[in-house]
Amino acid sequence: MTIKRNKLYILITLISLFICFSNGVMAGEFEGSWLLDDSSGKPFEATFSEDGTASGTHGDALKHGTWKDENGVAIIHWNTGWTTRIEKKGDKYVKTAFKPGASMTDTPTNTSAAIKKK
């Protein structure tokens, strides 16, 4: 009985470590600064921090929000009411933006390339 219990503890520990490691790797994919285009095609920079906060330059204004990784897609909720998604498609990242009040199942208001700064 003790051997089975030890094997169970080891299995649970390994699964827990795998989950923690996987979440860290995925979050790391999106953390940092990104070059994006707004809905008018004007470039702006957005930064996603490890603590889940997001900030971005937008013209002369600075916007803030929160972000999280949902199944390999960065979902950003801005204080302006806009929602942005960044996901990898092939070897590139794509940004889709949804205006305030729109659902992420609606047609995106804007779609453009997303480039992670090195």
Q: pLDDT digit string (tens) for 70-86?
A: 999 999 999 999 999 99
So what's the pLDDT on residue 15?
55
Query: Distances from the Cα of 86 to the Cαs of 3, 4, 12, 33, in angstroms?
Result: 46, 44, 32, 12
Give, for 78, the enclosing helix (H) or strand (E): strand 73-78
Q: Checking phi first, is residue 116 left (phi over 0); if not, alpha (psi -120 to 50) or beta?
A: beta
Q: Which residues fall within 8 angstroms of residue 69, CB to CB, at 6 or more apart? A: 23, 26, 27, 29, 30, 75
pTM of the predicted structure, to 2 decimals: 0.74
Domains located in the chain, CATH noted: 2-116 (2.40.128.640)
Instruction: Pick 75 or 25 by higher pLDDT.
Output: 75
Cα 27 to Cα 21: distance, rounded to the nearest angstrom: 10
Mean pLDDT of the chain: 84
